[in-house]
Amino acid sequence: MKYEQTLFLADNWKDYALLDSGDGMKLERFASQTVIRPDPQAFWRPNKPVKSWKADAWFDAKAGDDERGEWRRLNPKAPDTWPMEWNGIRFEARRTPFRHMGVFQEHAVHWAFAQEQLKKSGHPANVLNLFGYTGLMSLACAQAGAEVVHLDASPKSNGFGKDAQSLSDLDDRTIRWIADDAMKFVAREQRRGNQYDAIILDPPKFGRGTKNETWRFEEDLPGLLDGVASLLVKKPLFVILTAYAVRLSHIALAQALGDRMESLGGRIEMGEMALPEEKTGRMLPTSICARWRAD
Ligand SMILES: C[S@@+](CC[C@H](N)C(=O)[O-])C[C@H]1O[C@@H](n2cnc3c(N)ncnc32)[C@H](O)[C@@H]1O
């Protein structure tokens, strides 16, 4: 297996921009709305003092909780949801109590990659998107002509994905929105003999399936990767594996994936995912990735 060090930089946005970062905070624009959120990775000095940042809302993190907190409106007229677009994929952005805005904008680098690979393949592909949440990757694949199975434990998130499918005029595309536990679904697909040309997985550090099954990244990933590899067609197109807030390095991710793809040849790109900061050229790291492709 060939391994290559890569920087996965999501620099393909019009509707999103990282405006400034530093002193543990970041200032971002999501289409019409600007927000201030804490980010422990933003370790450096901000371009302008955080106190001088202007935004529509800021996120007040709950002490001792990495994820949760409350939004404070700085602009009383700031809407609860508002339209946002990436490359013709339209969706409603929103301020969630889990700190995010209904979009994981750093993944746009993989949406573009998936579209490029699917179009290049020249045949209609079957794609499985595990832990798919917002559904934006599923929509990107469908937009590029793939039939998609989108899976997430949260039925509510599947609702957001379906809404975005309609907003994006992709209702004529086949996307099966499934609420299930990822491990159980993969085992079931193995028994049914279903196969996929490409698989994407973005598992959380810790999660719960539909029947309260626990997911622990470091413990459960090897078993899931075995299952994922067995669901691939003989000549698959790609596999994308991403991870947030785990103690593993991207090298560990890549080699775990590489083991399962060895017989197929191809290559693995591995590295950090990051967002470019407007004007300064600095980067805000977000997550790590290992991405296999056939060519
Ligand atoms: C990091 S988010 C994925 C974000 C996604 N890449 C996107 O762009 O929208 C992780 C998702 O995994 C889901 N999840 C957690 N445990 C799960 C499980 N056992 N089976 C299926 N999905 C699970 C959560 O509901 C959550 O939506």
Domain count, the chain: 2
Quote the percentage of the chain above a pLDDT of 70: 100
Domain end among 38, 67, 94: 94
Q: Are residues 84 and 45 in the same domain?
A: yes
Say if residue 185's pLDDT is above 90. yes
Please give the average per-residue pLDDT across 251-278, as a whole number: 97
- The residue whose CB lies within 8 Å of the most ligand 1 atoms, and thus the one to mutate among 84, 104, 133, 224, is 133
Q: Are residues 90 and 107 in the same domain?
A: no
Query: What was the pLDDT predicted at 110?
Result: 98
DSSP annotation of 277 reads B
Q: Are residues 28 and 86 in the same domain?
A: yes
Query: What was the pLDDT predicted at 151?
Result: 98
Q: Are residues 55 and 80 in the same domain?
A: yes
Please give the average per-residue pLDDT across 75-94, as a whole number: 97
Query: What was the pLDDT predicted at 256?
Result: 98
| Summary mean pLDDT of the chain | 96
Backbone angles phi, psi at 125, to 5 degrees: -105, 155
Say if residue 102's pLDDT is above 90. yes
Question: How buried is residue 175: exposed, middle or buried, by Cβ count under 10 Å (0-12/13-18/19+)?
Answer: buried
Query: What was the pLDDT predicted at 164?
Result: 98
Q: Are residues 180 and 82 in the same domain?
A: no
The CATH number assigned to the domain holding 65 equals 2.60.40.1180
The answer to whether 130 touches 200, Cβ cutoff 8 Å, is: yes
Say if residue 69's pLDDT is above 70. yes
Q: Are residues 212 and 269 in the same domain?
A: yes
Query: What was the pLDDT predicted at 113?
Result: 98
Please give the average per-residue pLDDT across 189-194, as a whole number: 98
Separation of alpha carbons 8 and 106, rounded Å: 8
Q: What value, to the nearest 5°, has the Cα angle with vertex 201 and ends 122 and 155?
A: 105
Q: Are residues 115 and 57 in the same domain?
A: no
Q: Are residues 72 and 133 in the same domain?
A: no
Q: Are residues 122 and 196 in the same domain?
A: yes
**Domain with 51 in it:** 16-94
Please give the average per-residue pLDDT across 233-260, as a whole number: 97
Q: Are residues 137 and 39 in the same domain?
A: no
Query: What was the pLDDT predicted at 67?
Result: 73
Question: How buried is residue 193: exposed, middle or buried, by Cβ count under 10 Å (0-12/13-18/19+)?
Answer: exposed
Closest ligand 1 atom to Cα of 132: 5
Query: What was the pLDDT predicted at 66?
Result: 66
Please give the average per-residue pLDDT across 4-9, as a whole number: 98
The answer to whether 157 touches 134, Cβ cutoff 8 Å, is: yes
C-alpha of residue 210 to centroid of ligand 1, in Å: 11
Say if residue 46's pLDDT is above 90. yes
Query: What was the pLDDT predicted at 101?
Result: 96
Q: Are residues 45 and 176 in the same domain?
A: no
DSSP H helices, the chain, are: 108-121, 136-143, 155-167, 182-192, 217-230, 250-261
Q: Are residues 206 and 135 in the same domain?
A: yes
Q: What is the DSSP string of 64-127?
A: T-SS-EEEEESSTT--SEEEEEETTEEEEEE--TTS--S--GGGHHHHHHHHHHHHHH-S--EE
The CATH number assigned to the domain holding 259 equals 3.40.50.150
Separation of alpha carbons 121 and 235, rounded Å: 11
Summarised one tens digit per residue, pLDDT across range 19-40 is 999 999 999 999 999 999 999 9
Please give the average per-residue pLDDT across 209-228, as a whole number: 97
Ligand 1 binding pocket (C-beta < 6 A) is 104, 107, 131-134, 136-137, 152-154, 157, 181-182, 202, 204, 207-209, 213, 215
Say if residue 203's pLDDT is above 80. yes
Say if residue 61's pLDDT is above 90. no
Domain end among 53, 69, 94: 94
Backbone angles phi, psi at 149, to 5 degrees: -110, 115
Backbone angles phi, psi at 284, to 5 degrees: -110, 110
Query: What was the pLDDT predicted at 111?
Result: 98
Domain end among 94, 111, 133: 94
Say if residue 200's pLDDT is above 90. yes
Q: Rounded to an integer, what is the distance from CA 115 to the centroid of its chain?
A: 15
Query: What was the pLDDT predicted at 63?
Result: 75
Q: Furthest-apart CA pair in the chain: how many Å?
A: 58
Please give the average per-residue pLDDT across 227-246, as a whole number: 97
Say if residue 65's pLDDT is above 90. no
Closest ligand 1 atom to Cα of 215: 19
C-alpha of residue 185 to centroid of ligand 1, in Å: 13
